[in-house]
Amino acid sequence: MKAMEVHGVGVTFGGIIAVHDVSFAVEPGEIFAVIGPNGAGKTTLFNAVTGIHPPTHGHVELDGREQVAPMTRQTMVELLVAFLLVGVGVAATVNVERLWQASVIDNYIYEQPFPWGSALADLGRAVATLGWLGGALPLVCGGLVGAGAAWTNWSRARRSPDHIARTGVARTFQNIRLFNELSLVQNVLVGMDARMRAGFFSALLRLPRFRRERERFHAEAMKLLEFVGLADRALEAAGALPYGFRRRLEIARALAGTPKLILLDEPAAGMNPTEVGGLMALIRRVRDRGTTVILIEHHMKLVMGISDRIHVLQYGRTIAEGSPDAIRSNPRCIEAYLGVEENG
């Protein structure tokens, strides 16, 4: 089974075709590079895969499964609940004074215990007399609005970046996007959020479950920071990190969700040769953990040095795919990207 399959993916923004009919498959445990000149659509392709700009054509499969969340029984129940809640809410709001009068005011006699039974019965009778215009129409209209909104919400969320991240695809960004005011550990812990189970009340009441989970994930986050070589700075603010370290932190944050697939968008941008060497070693170690790596890069030494296969894009279209040696000797790639060597 492939780790990821991209089937004829196209992304258009209005009339602009950013990516056109790109297909490729990535094997598990592979380091797969996507290269191409500036504006070739590499980052757009990443955004399509991670759900930031869902593809206008084609689709992406992970582990042989469609990325889009399926319609489950739970979804249908939720739609029904939204219909009923909003419908009843609207109908009750429209008739609030009448219902209040019939159930509460008519039954309440000062200084006598409130007759709940007959009040509820009166409420039921009042609801029954609402009729078509007062009761059913607001109920249906409100219900349709509620269910429609819930439907829209669901269909947007089914391919949203958070859903895709939770299916095991992590990414880094071309222009590093760390949470600058949070410490390094906390940045990594944000990446672990999808795996945490303790909810609102266990956090509010500091239940044992919350404490156990906190200890466990904190230890794991420290291990990840050690893995990328940042453990000694764990409690500093991410915004204060030097540039080269930020990339490493972003990789640690992406790894925190234990993804099957990690997308690195120009990880070597702005790094000096020593840092690039360290980054290459780090990417190899990430792969050795069992994570499939897909990267966009301009730094040829890095791409040629670590990639198993390379996919070349130009103007949003595929022009070649193959091993580093094959790409290096492919005349179209040389022309488009690597540049023709001048003799003499």
Partner 1 sequence: MRWRPGPIVTILAIAAVVPLVDLVLPAELALSEAVRTVFLYAILALGLNVMTGYAGMLNLGIAAFMAIGAYAFGILSCEIYPFQLGFWPALALTIPIGALAGFILGAPTLGLRGDYLAIVTLGFGEIVQDILKNLDSITKGMQGINPLPAPSIGGAMWTSNDERSWYYLLLALLTLTVIAARNLERSRLGRAWFSIREDELASRSMGIRVERAKMIAFATGAAIAAFAGGLSASVLSSTGEPNNYDFQVSILALCIIIVGGIGGVAGVLVGSLVMVGLNSIVLAKATAWMAAHGIGSQGNVMLSPNNWKFLIFGLALVIAVRIKPTGILPPKLERGRV
| Contact letters for partner 1, residues 45-84 (x by CB under 8 A) | -----x-x--------------------------------
DSSP state, residue 119: H
Coil, strand or helix at 146: helix
Q: Work out which of 84, 123, 196, 269 binds partner 1, going by CB under 8 A.
A: 196
Least distance CB 111 / partner 1 (angstroms): 8
Between residue 135 and residue 164, which ones bind partner 1 under the rule CB under 8 A? 149, 153, 157, 160-162
| Contact letters for partner 1, residues 266-295 (x by CB under 8 A) | ------------------------------
Stretch that binds partner 1, among 23-31, 126-134, 212-220, 297-305 (CB under 8 A): 212-220
| Tokens of residue 237, six digits | 């603010």
Least distance CB 11 / partner 1 (angstroms): 17
Burial class (CB in 10 A: 0-12, 13-18, 19+), 208: exposed
d(C-alpha 246, C-alpha 238), whole Å: 7
Establish if 173 lies at the interface with partner 1 (CB under 8 A): yes
Q: Work out which of 151, 179, 227, 315 binds partner 1, going by CB under 8 A.
A: 179
Task: Provide φ and ψ at 341, rounded to 5°.
Answer: -75, 135
Between 128 and 205, CB nearer to partner 1: 205
Total number of residues shown for the chain: 344
Q: Work out which of 62, 94, 165, 271 binds partner 1, going by CB under 8 A.
A: 165
In sequence order, what are the residues at sequence separation of 6 or more whose Cβ sits closer than 8 angstroms to the Cβ of residue 189? 217, 218, 221, 256
Question: How many CB atoms are located within 10 Å of the residue 109 CB?
Answer: 9
Amino acid at 182: L
Residue 227: which region, alpha, beta or left (left: phi > 0; alpha: psi -120 to 50)? alpha
Between 51 and 307, CB nearer to partner 1: 51
How far from the centroid of its chain's Cα atoms is residue 253's Cα?
Answer: 13
Between 1 and 104, CB nearer to partner 1: 104
By CB under 8 A, how many residues form the interface with partner 1? 56
Establish if 92 lies at the interface with partner 1 (CB under 8 A): no
Least distance CB 285 / partner 1 (angstroms): 21
